[in-house]
């Protein structure tokens, strides 16, 4: 007996079912409403160049005294944390009484080609932290860094510790040279000087193609075959398209910042090896002495868990907590499990440190 | 194998097959509302007819639809292969699924360019600016370079190393350099594609190993989708093995670098043409942008928000000092000139004051000196505070070459 036992009748029925779904596609797609995202009300409290710092408005005033500033990655848009009504980290944090702010980096253009990591970290992030602290009437705030924004937050917390009360990192790469890090493997032999000198800002489409190649069959094909299953379900299709929009709605990358990020983080692995300098500041993770919560995803294909979980070995704090989430790099924000587990984990961890 | 198909079953199968073919026909008809021939169209034709109904103007999310159609086409091909295998061998247990899969799976039977990663790299050539081939044609003065086997590329490279002579030698040399970069890029692309082929083969090996795990009774795969999903798992594992290897690291880096060399040389040609036409060039814009960013940093370092904060701190310290002085004077014996409760001590009263240079608060200049001369410390503080923190103050008159009436000319 072989490993495949598909009855021909069942095979044909399966094929016919697929045909029926495809047949419904045209009507469903034509009947779709515009896909919206970013569901929680917010107000801008600080603007600089293309950057905007927002404060989210919950249904009730926050009970937390220390605000959270979310520092998102440069490589995608930050509305992933507030994608839709039933998939929103922000909304769930607000519901628990947290006071949530977020940096929206905007879309860099040619004028931003020369922005460096110094400009981003010691400039934009520092002034955003000041703006949030001023707005909330506190001296120190909680920083929540996500992915590349987490790496930036580590640099910031290590060099401006007096302004950070608690640090939370989510799916944040720390050790860039673990053997399962595909992006790292690909960038190690790249001549990034030639790359940036030639391209200037790095086009978003190029970045997206690179990410799609991490799982080429799954992300280019299987996902869309899965889409066939929901072609007759308007609500599910809208969820799919919302996610699809987020994936491909990517900003270009400021050339100089990209150059330094690839050289110092991906190629030099200086965050753990040492020798990282952001503007005038030497970055030593040992200078991170505030409490740290590090959340990573066990099935993360972009930032392997091994790249994140080493953080505890390098930070200087005695108060380090690590949480492994059962899910992927995106699922940690939008899956049903994420809605149940992640906001509560953050809130309880912060609450325990505000007593 | 070897068993004769049951004639009743065959009749049933043929009926189902007709149903399947008609279903494709209905799909195409419903999508286009165009008159259809009486006989069912072959499924690829019907599929393409269905796909044409999603022309860009007819459905909103265009790119998603394109991906859906591409994936549906692949999956329909997969289904068709499996159905054909089943039709040839109606006894399910004896069906040569493995060969059918080999025919259906991208990257094996259909050539390396069907591997999604190879396709993605082809797409990457188009991103960020016009496609390389078009750029070469537009600015490199080169005809399109056809795909060549590695041996021919080597021969072409040796020709491109020939020295150039005469009045056009500089131009000739540049063109040769560009053509050489293009040929080297093709070589690197060939290496990359070989690795993709290796990834496909490895994926199929893993797939067969995974299939073997399903041989025991009760573990058999009983649906097309489960089979497809198993193949995807194996394909990704095979790809990951290759993509994480040192060989891939080297080949990938070499490919990216080779493409960037071509782009950079094409850009140089574009710059040269732009310069000839008197148009601004990218390097000029870059130069301006870089200087502007450096200037912004300098301005911020000297007098931006940070400087405001520094001044605010300085004023706060002065206010505190003033309050301390005020309090201490209140407790001391009164005497001499008092202003606002504070006994003022003039600078000229201090021993050695004439010989000691006066230290003015930053930015206050002569204004602070004038305040000191008036002897009013409180007003000095207030004036300094309003000047530093941007409190309402009179706008300075526009420079006309003459002092405005009633104004005092100051030096800074």
Interface A:B, Cβ pairs < 8 A: 247
Measured between CB atoms, does B263 come within 8 Å of chain A? yes
How do A164-170 and A292-297 pair as beta strands?
A: parallel
Please tell me if residue A110 touches chain B, with a CB cutoff of 8 Å.
yes
- Residue B344 C-alpha, separation from nearest chain A C-alpha, in angstroms: 37
- B residues 164-223 lying closer than 8 A (beta carbon) to A: 211-215, 217, 219-223
- Pick the more confident residue, B54 or A227: A227
For chain A, which ranges sit under pLDDT 70?
Answer: 1
B113 has pLDDT over 80: no
pLDDT(B373) > 50: no
B119 touches chain A (CB under 8 A): yes
Per-residue model confidence (pLDDT) at position A195:
97
Token representation of residue A120: 């981003």
pLDDT at A64: 97
Which band of pLDDT confidence, cut at 50, 70 and 90, is reported for residue B331? confident
> What is the model's pLDDT at position B386?
59
Please state whether beta strands A281-282 and A292-297 pair in parallel, antiparallel, or not at all (unpaired).
Answer: unpaired
User: Given a cut of 80, is residue B29 above it in pLDDT?
Assistant: no
Residues of chain B found within 8 Å of residue A15, distances taken between Cβ atoms: 20, 79, 83, 224
B396 has pLDDT over 50: no
**Whose CA is closest to B387, among B315, B323, B325, B301?**
B315
Q: Token digits for A183?
A: 């992006």
pLDDT at position B149 is: 67
CB A227 within 8 A of CB A24: no
Residue B124 confidence (pLDDT) above 60: no
Answer whether A14 sits within 8 Å of B217, measured CB to CB: no
Answer yes or no: is pLDDT of B264 > 60. Answer: yes
Please give the pLDDT value at position B353: 42
ipTM comes to: 0.92
Q: DSSP secondary-structure letter at B406?
A: T
pLDDT at B125: 55
Max avg pLDDT among A98-112, B283-297, B314-328, B329-343? A98-112
Over residues B207-212, the mean pLDDT reads 89
Pair of tokens at residue A248:
């491909």
Give the start-to-end residue ranges of the domains of chain B. 1-104, 113-303, 305-352+359-388
Closest C-alpha to B61, from A30, A226, A338, A65: A30
pLDDT at B31 exceeding the cut of 90: no
Write out the CATH class of domain A42-220+245-352: alpha beta
Distance from CA of B314 to the nearest CA of A (A): 18
pLDDT given at position B411: 37
Answer yes or no: do B68 and A221 touch at CB < 8 A: no
pLDDT for res A92: 96
Ranges of H-type helices in B304-405: 305-331, 365-374, 377-389
Residues of chain A found within 8 Å of residue B235, distances taken between Cβ atoms: 217
For chain A, the domains span 42-220+245-352
Q: CA A43, CA A39: separation in Å to the nearest integer?
A: 13
Mean predicted confidence (pLDDT) in B307-322: 77
Q: Determine the length of chain A.
A: 355
d(CA A250, CA B376): 60
**To the nearest whole angstrom, how far is the Cα of B91 from the nearest Cα of chain A?**
8
Query: Residues A154-183, buried b or exposed e (16+ Cβ, 10 A)?
Result: bbbbbbbbebbbbbbbbbbbbbbbbeebbb
B24: chain A residues, CB-CB within 8 Å: 19
| pLDDT single digits (tens) B33-51 | 555 555 555 666 667 777 7
B163 vs B87, higher pLDDT? B163
| Measured distance CA(B283)–CA(B290) in Å, rounded | 10
Give the model's confidence band at B86: pLDDT under 50 very low, under 70 low, under 90 confident, else very high: low
User: Mean pLDDT across the stretch B283-293?
Assistant: 92
A-chain residue closest to B18, CA distance: A12
Kindly determine whether residue A12 and residue B229, on different chains, have CB atoms separated by under 8 Å: no
pLDDT bucket at B376, cuts 50 / 70 / 90: low
Residue B337 has pLDDT above 90, yes or no: no
- Least confident range from B141-155, B204-218, B264-278: namely B141-155
**Which segment of A191-195, A214-218, B75-79, B366-370 scores lowest on mean pLDDT?**
B366-370
pLDDT at position B91 is 55
Residue B32 pLDDT exceeds 80: no
Which residues of A are less than 8 Å from B115 in CB distance? 216
Q: What is the pLDDT of residue B106?
A: 54
List C-alpha distances in Å: B155 to B50, B149, B188: 47, 10, 16
Nearest CA distance, A109 vs chain B (angstrom): 11
Q: Does the beta-carbon distance from B71 to A26 stay under 8 Å?
A: no
Q: What CA–CA distance (Å, rounded) separates A252 from A74? A: 9
Q: What is the pLDDT of residue B154?
A: 74
Calculate the CA A195 to chain-centre distance: 24
In this structure, the number of other CB atoms found within 10 A of the CB of residue B222 comes to 15
- Which pair of tokens denotes residue A322? 């690590």
* CA pair distance B286, A293, nearest whole angstrom: 41
Structure tokens that stand for A79 in this block:
């509305």
| C-alpha torsion sign, points B403, B408, B411, B412 | negative
Taking the Cβ of residue B236 and every Cβ of chain A, the question of whether any pair is shorter than 8 Å is answered with yes
Spatial strand order of the sheet with A320-325 comes to A42-48, A51-56, A100-104, A68-71, A141-146, A164-170, A292-297, A320-325
In this predicted structure, what is the pLDDT of residue B35?
Answer: 56
């Amino acid at each position: 007996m072989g490993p495949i036992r598909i009855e021909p009748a069942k095979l044909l029925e399966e094929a016919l079912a697929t045909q029926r779904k495809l047949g419904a596609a045209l009507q469903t797609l034509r009947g779709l409403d515009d896909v919206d995202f970013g569901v929680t009300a917010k107000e801008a409290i600080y603007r600089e160049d293309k950057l905007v710092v927002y404060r989210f408005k919950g249904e009730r005033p926050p009970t937390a005294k220390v605000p959270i500033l979310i520092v998102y990655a440069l490589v995608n848009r930050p509305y992933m944390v507030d994608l839709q009504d039933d998939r929103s980290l922000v909304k769930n944090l607000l519901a628990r009484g947290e006071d949530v702010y977020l940096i929206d980096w905007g879309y860099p253009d040619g004028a931003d080609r020369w922005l460096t990591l110094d400009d981003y970290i010691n400039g934009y992030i520092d002034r955003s932290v000041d703006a949030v602290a001023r707005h909330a009437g506190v001296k120190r705030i909680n920083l929540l860094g996500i992915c590349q924004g987490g790496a930036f937050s580590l640099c910031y917390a290590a060099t401006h510790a007096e302004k950070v009360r608690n640090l939370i990192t989510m799916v944040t790469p720390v050790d860039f040279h673990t053997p399962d890090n595909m992006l790292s493997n690909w960038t190690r032999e790249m001549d990034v000087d030639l790359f940036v000198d030639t391209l200037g800002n790095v086009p978003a489409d190029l970045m997206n193609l690179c990410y799609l190649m991490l799982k080429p069959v799954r992300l280019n094909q299987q996902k869309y075959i899965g889409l066939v299953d929901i072609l007759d379900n308007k609500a599910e299709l809208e969820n799919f398209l919302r996610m699809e929009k987020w994936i491909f709605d990517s900003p270009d990358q400021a050339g100089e910042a990209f150059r330094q990020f690839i050289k110092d983080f991906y190629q030099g692995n200086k965050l753990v090896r040492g020798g990282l300098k952001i503007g005038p500041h030497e970055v030593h993770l040992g200078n991170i002495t505030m409490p740290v919560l590090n959340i990573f995803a066990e099935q993360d294909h972009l930032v392997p868990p091994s790249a994140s979980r080493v953080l505890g070995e390098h930070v200087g704090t005695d108060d380090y907590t690590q949480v492994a989430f059962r899910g992927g790099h995106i699922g940690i924000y939008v899956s049903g499990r994420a809605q149940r587990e992640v906001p509560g984990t953050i809130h309880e961890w912060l609450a325990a440190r505000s007593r | 194998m070897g068993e004769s198909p049951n004639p009743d079953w065959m009749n049933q199968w043929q009926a189902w097959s007709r149903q399947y073919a008609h279903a494709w026909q209905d799909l195409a008809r419903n999508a286009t509302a165009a008159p259809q021939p009486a006989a069912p169209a072959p499924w690829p034709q019907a599929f393409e007819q269905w796909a044409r109904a999603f022309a860009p103007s007819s459905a909103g999310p265009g790119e998603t639809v394109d991906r859906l159609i591409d994936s549906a086409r692949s999956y329909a091909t997969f289904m068709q292969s499996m159905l054909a295998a089943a039709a040839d061998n109606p006894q399910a247990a004896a069906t040569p699924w493995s060969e059918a899969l080999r025919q259906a799976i991208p990257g094996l039977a259909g050539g390396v360019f069907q591997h999604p990663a190879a396709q993605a790299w082809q797409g990457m050539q188009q991103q960020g600016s016009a496609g390389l081939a078009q750029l070469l044609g537009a600015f490199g003065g080169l005809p399109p370079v056809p795909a060549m086997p590695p041996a021919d590329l080597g021969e072409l490279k040796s020709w491109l190393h020939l020295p150039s002579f005469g009045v056009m030698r500089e131009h000739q040399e540049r063109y040769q350099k560009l053509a050489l970069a293009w040929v080297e890029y093709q070589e690197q692309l060939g290496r990359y594609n070989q690795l993709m082929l290796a990834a496909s083969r490895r994926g199929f090996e893993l797939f067969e190993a995974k299939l073997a795990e399903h041989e025991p009774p009760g573990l058999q795969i009983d649906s097309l989708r489960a089979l497809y999903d198993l193949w995807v798992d194996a394909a990704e594992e095979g790809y990951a093995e290759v993509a994480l290897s040192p060989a891939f690291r080297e080949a990938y880096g070499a490919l990216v670098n080779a493409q960037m060399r071509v782009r950079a040389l094409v850009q140089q040609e574009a710059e040269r043409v732009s310069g000839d036409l008197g148009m601004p060039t990218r390097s000029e814009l870059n130069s301006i942008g870089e200087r502007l960013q450096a200037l912004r940093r300098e301005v911020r370092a000297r007098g931006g928000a940070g400087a405001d904060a520094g001044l605010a701190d300085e004023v706060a310290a002065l206010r505190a000092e003033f309050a301390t002085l005020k309090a201490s004077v209140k407790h001391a014996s009164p005497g001499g000139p008092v202003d606002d409760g504070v006994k003022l001590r003039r600078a000229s009263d201090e021993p050695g004051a004439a010989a000691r240079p006066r230290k003015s608060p930053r930015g206050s200049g002569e204004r602070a000196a004038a305040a000191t001369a008036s002897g009013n410390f409180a007003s000095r503080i207030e004036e300094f505070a309003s000047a530093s923190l941007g409190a309402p103050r009179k706008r300075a008159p526009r420079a006309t070459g003459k002092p405005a009436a009633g104004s005092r000319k100051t030096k800074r």
